[in-house]
Amino acid sequence: MTVFAAADQPTLEDFGNDVWWIVLIKIVGIFGVLVLMTLFAIVFERKVVARMQQRIGPNRVGPRGYLQSLADGLKLAFKEDIMPALADKPVYFLAPVIATIPAFLAFSVIPLGPTVSIFGERTPLQLVDSPIGVLIVLAASAMGVYGIVLGGWASGSTYPLLGSLRSAAQMISYEIAMGLSIVAVFLYAGSMSTSEIVAAQADGTELSFFGLEFTGPSWYAVLLPVSFVIYVIAVVGETNRAPFDLPEAESELVGGFHTEYSSLKFALFFLAEYINIVTVSALAATLFLGGWRAPWPISIWDGANTGWWPLLWFFAKVVVALFFFVWLRGTLPRLRYDQFMRFGWKVLVPVGLVWILVVATLRAVARESDLDAGQVAVFVGVPIALVLLGGLLLASRMRNRDTRVAAREAAAGGPAPAEPQVLDPQGRDRASGGFPVPPMDLVVPPSPRLRRRESVGAGTVVGTGRRSSSTTPEETDDV
Amino acid sequence: MSVLAMGVVAAAADTGVVIGTGETIVFWVLAPVALAGALGMVLSKNAVHSALWLVLTMLSLGVFYVVQEAPFLGAAQIIVYTGAIMILFLFVLMLVGRESSDSVVETLRGQRVAAIVLGIGFAGLVGAGIARATEELPVVGLTAVQGTVGGPAAGNVEAIAAVLYGRFVLAFEVTGALLIVAAVGALLLTHAEREPGTQRSQKERSRARFLTDRPQTLPGPGVYARANSIAAPGRLPDGSPAPSSFATGVEPVRVDELPRTGSVGAEREGLPHAGGTDAALGTTTPGTTREGGPA
């Protein structure tokens, strides 16, 4: 491992020497950043997806609607906490906690910036690092699966169980693809520690094209494009986001594993999900997009990678990754379960394995013939990757050719869209084609807590939305 | 496992290796936790709870590894064993459903006592064996074996890599081959051979299905979200079990559910669902509701 002598680049020895109050500041800071990023990500997602759907999105609470998720979060905390009668109580209670804690833990190894000065103490902007840094993120995400799986099982209900089974299978399958995609980065960086991977992406290779000297790309997203693509696809599956949101597919499973959850327990699941998205975005920035180092036009400025500035570049990269998540959700329909599994096992995993083989071969060749690894990657690896990606694209287009041709024919000779049918909202019954109106006889059932103290016998009308055949006369004439 | 860890600590203390305060604290906190996990795993009646206790033990072991300067082993323990293998275990347990849990009646007389005695005996045997075997070993310290970060051998990960891909590369490859053969063999045994081209497309199967009496899918066990066991059959609208939903190989059983179909709700006076689901949904009139369970 080449140790980069840059002044602000922390190495592994710089960790574990902090004063206790610096550690405390970092812990509280990371906790705050994650909670704030969650609040921001929810509003951001709602606003961006609204723009994509020609809507405005949340615009009522706070300046330009940016406090909407804060209001929602507060509301969620005051909702009634429901414990299903068939729930396995201890596991039901533990599941959201198990989902949330690893989500927070995973972020502790993400490098947010170089060595800075906090109240006179020189310290790296990263809580911990270890020789196995990235594996800690993988371990945390493996633990997070338990929260989802147990939550679904402990609810004692069918939809959550199906959702949790799906998510268990999905997260295990896509974790393999994700791990394989990261291996190539380890091979190139020569380390599994996050800060050293960022350091390894500091300097681009010197290239010369026909006498023109320039610095080649140093980001692993460019040097290892196949890994990057696999990583991006795999983490979308890993975080249960659209188009891979099968564990909580609304149209099939109501809410999936968290159907029976309410109030703060649900809020914890929600928090964990968004923190996981932020974490994988941050990990993508760290492993593939140069970490906290400034992107090219800015990096010409000497001060770009010193002091507190890198925080800005880092979070800009994270927000770009978040935008990509939202973009996917706004664009792609959900996959069918068998398609999804086939894609994971028969496309992502084999491609990942072959790519590792290619990368390892390139590394070995570069070492044997004393070539610079970066040059080999740029001149051999990138073309191979482009050919591979192009081939995949062609193959998928060939496979869908029949469907595309049929769709084009249908579009060319299809029938004109029918006039929209307008229903008379008033006067006609719902059964004979009138506009659907909600039933007018809904009565709020008495609170079960009230009944414990005084016996209320009047809870016979049930708000099911359907008229019982035993309704009283005054209820039947307000149709 | 904890017995072993304790033995190792004791052995280390004898030979004069200094154990840091942090490591001591972690050991005395996590060793009881790991032991409680192991006991809980054996003593739980519910299979899923057993699996969870085991997860607790495995996590504690992972932390032990990390604390004892083997971070890679700890991460592998957590990712592979806790993260993948136990999840697969849970997956199977959940598929079977929790209402169809095992009977706890002893079929072999005296099995439990024998198991306890043999278990303690085995643990004692292994513990004593390892203690005797490692008694005379000289302690060289970690740095001599794997070096430190920035030192001659660059730490735990590099040391493991050198040993695994150098000295033990043949054993490593053979183990890999064994695992692959096992996986492929399992696939081969469960895979039904089909002539290529004989598999019907989804469209063909859909057409064929619509030519039968039942174009819709078979009712799944435990539909209507009343139970999540494969032993619980689906229900017909009158509350009787649907024979087409019986799972093969499992005896259909009535599971505890809420509210009971067909119950008049006399025992739950005043509840919102008094009168059972049927009254709540209006599927039968209260006057004709039968007493007792479905026919």
Q: What is the domain partition of chain B in residue ranges?
A: 1-100+111-139, 142-192, 225-295
- Interface probe for A, chosen from B55, B87, B230 (most Cβ of A below 10 Å), is B87
> Looking at the predicted structure, is the pLDDT value of residue B193 above 50?
yes
* pLDDT tens digits, one per residue of A326-375: 999 888 888 888 888 888 888 889 988 988 988 888 888 877 877 666 66
Identify the helix (H) or strand (E) that includes residue A124.
Answer: strand A121-125
Taking the CA of residue A142 and the nearest CA in chain B, the distance in Å comes to 5
Taking the CA of residue A109 and the nearest CA in chain B, the distance in Å comes to 14
* pLDDT tens digits, one per residue of B200-216: 788 888 888 888 887 77
Query: B75 vs A139: CB contact, 8 Å cut-off?
Result: yes
Find the CB nearest B228 among A135, A156, A451. A156
Enumerate the H helices of A53-122 as residue ranges: 68-77, 89-106
**CB-based contact, B266 to chain A, within 8 Å:** no
Q: In chain A, which residues have their Cβ closer than 8 Å to the Cβ of B62? A: 139
**CB-based contact, B52 to chain A, within 8 Å:** yes
Residue A238's SS3 state is helix
Query: A139 vs B155: CB contact, 8 Å cut-off?
Result: no
Chain B residue at shortest CA distance from A465: B281
> What is residue B168's DSSP assignment?
T
> Looking at the predicted structure, is the pLDDT value of residue B19 above 60?
yes
Query: A142 vs B82: CB contact, 8 Å cut-off?
Result: yes
Distance CA A169, CA A247 (A): 10
Mean pLDDT of chain B: 74
Find the CB nearest B272 among A164, A171, A445. A445
Find the CB nearest B155 among A131, A136, A466. A131
CATH number for B1-100+111-139 (one of 1.10.510.10, 3.40.1160.10, 1.20.120.1200, 3.40.1210.10): it is: 1.20.120.1200
Chain B residue at shortest CA distance from A167: B91
Find the CB nearest B282 among A159, A457, A466. A466
Residue A11's SS3 state is coil
> Looking at the predicted structure, is the pLDDT value of residue B270 above 80?
no
**CB-based contact, A73 to chain B, within 8 Å:** no
Give yes or no for a contact between B247 and A437, defined as CB atoms under 8 angstroms apart. Answer: no
Kind of pairing, strands A206-209 and A121-125?
unpaired
**CB-based contact, A251 to chain B, within 8 Å:** no
**CB-based contact, A12 to chain B, within 8 Å:** yes
Specify the amino acid at residue B143: T
Rg (alpha carbons) of chain A, rounded to whole number: 27
Q: In chain A, which residues have their Cβ closer than 8 Å to the Cβ of B52? A: 91, 150
Query: B79 vs A142: CB contact, 8 Å cut-off?
Result: yes
Distance CA B98, CA B230 (A): 9
**CB-based contact, B115 to chain A, within 8 Å:** no
> Looking at the predicted structure, is the pLDDT value of residue B8 above 90?
no
Name which of A229, A227, A133, A215 is nearest A188 in CA terms.
Answer: A227
* Per-residue exposure over B222-238, b if at least 16 CB sit within 10 Å of its own CB, e if not: bbebbbbbbbbbbbeee
Taking the CA of residue A152 and the nearest CA in chain B, the distance in Å comes to 10
**CB-based contact, B281 to chain A, within 8 Å:** yes
DSSP string, B215-275: -SPPPPTTGGGT---TTSPPB-TTS-B-GGGPPTTS---PPP-SSPTT---GGGTTSTTTT
* pLDDT tens digits, one per residue of B52-78: 899 999 999 999 888 888 888 888 888
Taking the CA of residue A303 and the nearest CA in chain B, the distance in Å comes to 29
> Looking at the predicted structure, is the pLDDT value of residue B5 above 50?
no
Q: Report A:187-216 residues touching B (Cβ under 8 A).
A: 192
**CB-based contact, A142 to chain B, within 8 Å:** yes
- Interface probe for B, chosen from A137, A158, A174 (most Cβ of B below 10 Å), is A158
Residue A118's SS3 state is strand
Spans in chain A with pLDDT lower than 70: 1-7, 204-216, 371-375, 377, 413-440, 450-479
**Matching residue, tokens 């290239």:** A207
The gap from C-alpha B248 to its chain's centroid, in whole angstroms, comes to: 23
Give yes or no for a contact between B31 and B6, defined as CB atoms under 8 angstroms apart. Answer: yes
- The answer to pTM > 0.95 is no
Identify the helix (H) or strand (E) that includes residue A448.
Answer: helix A448-453
Q: Which residues contact A165 (CB under 8 A, 6 or more apart)?
A: A149, A152, B91, B94, B95
Q: In chain A, which residues have their Cβ closer than 8 Å to the Cβ of B55? A: 146
**Lowest-confidence segment of A313-327, B42-56, B235-249 by average pLDDT:** B235-249
Of residues B15 and A305, more confidence is placed in: A305
Q: Report B:135-174 residues touching A (Cβ under 8 A).
A: 149-150, 154-157
* Per-residue exposure over A45-75, b if at least 16 CB sit within 10 Å of its own CB, e if not: bbbbbbeeeeeebbeeeeeebbbbbeebbee
- Interface probe for B, chosen from A146, A257, A336 (most Cβ of B below 10 Å), is A146
**pLDDT value, residue A461:** 44
Taking the CA of residue B153 and the nearest CA in chain A, the distance in Å comes to 12
- Interface probe for A, chosen from B80, B92, B149 (most Cβ of A below 10 Å), is B149
**CB-based contact, A312 to chain B, within 8 Å:** no
Q: In chain A, which residues have their Cβ closer than 8 Å to the Cβ of B256? A: 86
Q: In chain B, which residues have their Cβ closer than 8 Å to the Cβ of A91? A: 48-49, 52
Q: Report B:204-243 residues touching A (Cβ under 8 A).
A: 222-223, 225-228
What would the two tokens of residue B36 be? 């409680």
**CB-based contact, B196 to chain A, within 8 Å:** no
- For A175, phi then psi, to 5°, come to -65, -35
Q: In chain A, which residues have their Cβ closer than 8 Å to the Cβ of B59? A: 143
